[in-house]
């Protein structure tokens, strides 16, 4: 009987949240979290329509967008908390010296454009292991990134390496654990290199999300969400307690952005986006 009551309560709670999201209520957000969204999760929606929805929901950023899309964001008064436009993709990164010259050229061309657009960060990747030991990859990444730090520091743009899981989504990716990323940041030795702590990916690889955030907060300059398992909505259908995680992030003094990066399963994808923002909009 207790299980049945719990199931009904859970179902009612979820239904209420979905109704509120569908209703398009223009509630003022609480302001403790700066909300962003990753463009690729809504690639079937035009960027103009996504910008319109974002401003209505209360987001102030759309990210993982390239230079050709930045003017559209500006048209709607939005920023990009974490743009892209440089690099060679996820698999070919700074851990392999054969890519260093091309990567450095690519980032040195884009970083000034990022700064001119008024953005503060740009994403980067470690690359895949391809049989390489983690310690060697760490050294290689540090060598390549140190070459870029003078440009990043000159333009006040932070390079942010994403922590990705190598268990489910990105087989063989090297920067797949927070301690490795933190060790890399120590070797690079610049405030213009930080980590993107993707909550979905690190729940899969490490767990202990709140404890890890508390321990490594000084290395993190950006966060992504996603439901585990499946990378779908971050509501009661998955295992993470996102309000508790958001409270822990705020308690560290973090002032950056949290971006929704889940793949909506519901037909009304924008309702799912609004729901995700509401879940993370803690008091």
Angle CA(274)–CA(80)–CA(37) in degrees, nearest 5? 25
Q: Are 232 and 238 in contact (CB under 8 A)?
A: yes
Cβ atoms 63, 78 nearer than 8 A: no
Q: Which of 68, 239, 261, 267 is catalytic?
A: 261
Packing angle between helix 269-280 and helix 2-22, nearest 10 degrees? 110
Is 135 part of the annotated catalytic residue set?
no
Active-site residue, 239 included: no
Could you tell me the two tokens for 80?
């990009």
**Which of 186, 171, 161 shows the shortest CA–CA distance to 129?**
171
Who's near 130: CB < 8 A, 6+ residues apart? 96, 172
- Quote the distance between the C-alpha of residue 241 and its chain's center: 17
Among the options 91, 109, 153, 162, which is catalytic?
162
Q: Are 79 and 119 in contact (CB under 8 A)?
A: yes
State the Cα–Cα distance between residues 165 and 167, nearest whole angstrom: 5
d(CA 128, CA 176): 10
The string of DSSP codes covering 136-147 is: HHHHHHHHHHHH
Return d(Cα 59, Cα 268) in angstroms, integer: 18
Residue 7 token pair? 């199931």
Task: Give catalytic residues, as residue numbers.
Answer: 162, 261
């Amino acid at each position: 009987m207790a299980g049945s009551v719990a199931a009904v309560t859970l179902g009612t709670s979820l239904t209420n949240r979905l109704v509120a999201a569908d209703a398009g209520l223009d509630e003022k957000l609480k302001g403790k979290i700066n909300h962003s969204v990753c463009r690729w999760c809504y690639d079937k929606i035009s960027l103009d329509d996504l910008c319109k929805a974002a401003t209505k929901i209360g987001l102030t950023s759309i990210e993982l967008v390239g230079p050709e899309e930045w003017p559209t964001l500006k048209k709607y008064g939005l920023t990009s908390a974490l743009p892209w436009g440089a690099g060679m993709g996820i698999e070919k990164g700074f851990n392999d010296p054969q890519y260093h010259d091309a990567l450095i050229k690519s980032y040195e061309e884009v970083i000034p454009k990022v700064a001119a657009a008024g953005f503060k960060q740009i994403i980067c990747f470690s690359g895949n292991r391809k049989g390489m030991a983690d310690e060697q990859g760490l050294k290689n990444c540090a060598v390549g990134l140190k070459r870029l730090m003078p440009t990043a520091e000159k333009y006040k743009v932070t390079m942010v390496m994403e922590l990705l899981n190598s268990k489910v989504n990105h087989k063989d990716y090297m920067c797949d654990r927070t301690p490795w990323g933190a060790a890399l940041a120590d070797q690079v030795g610049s405030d213009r290199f930080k980590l993107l702590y993707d909550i979905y990916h690190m729940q899969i690889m490490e767990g202990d999300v709140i404890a890890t955030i508390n321990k490594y907060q000084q290395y993190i300059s950006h966060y992504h969400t996603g439901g585990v398992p499946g990378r779908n909505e971050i509501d009661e259908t998955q295992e993470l307690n996102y309000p508790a995680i958001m409270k822990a992030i705020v308690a560290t003094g973090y002032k950056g952005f949290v971006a929704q990066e889940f793949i909506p399963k519901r037909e009304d994808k924008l309702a799912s986006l609004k729901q995700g923002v509401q879940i993370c909009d803690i008091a």
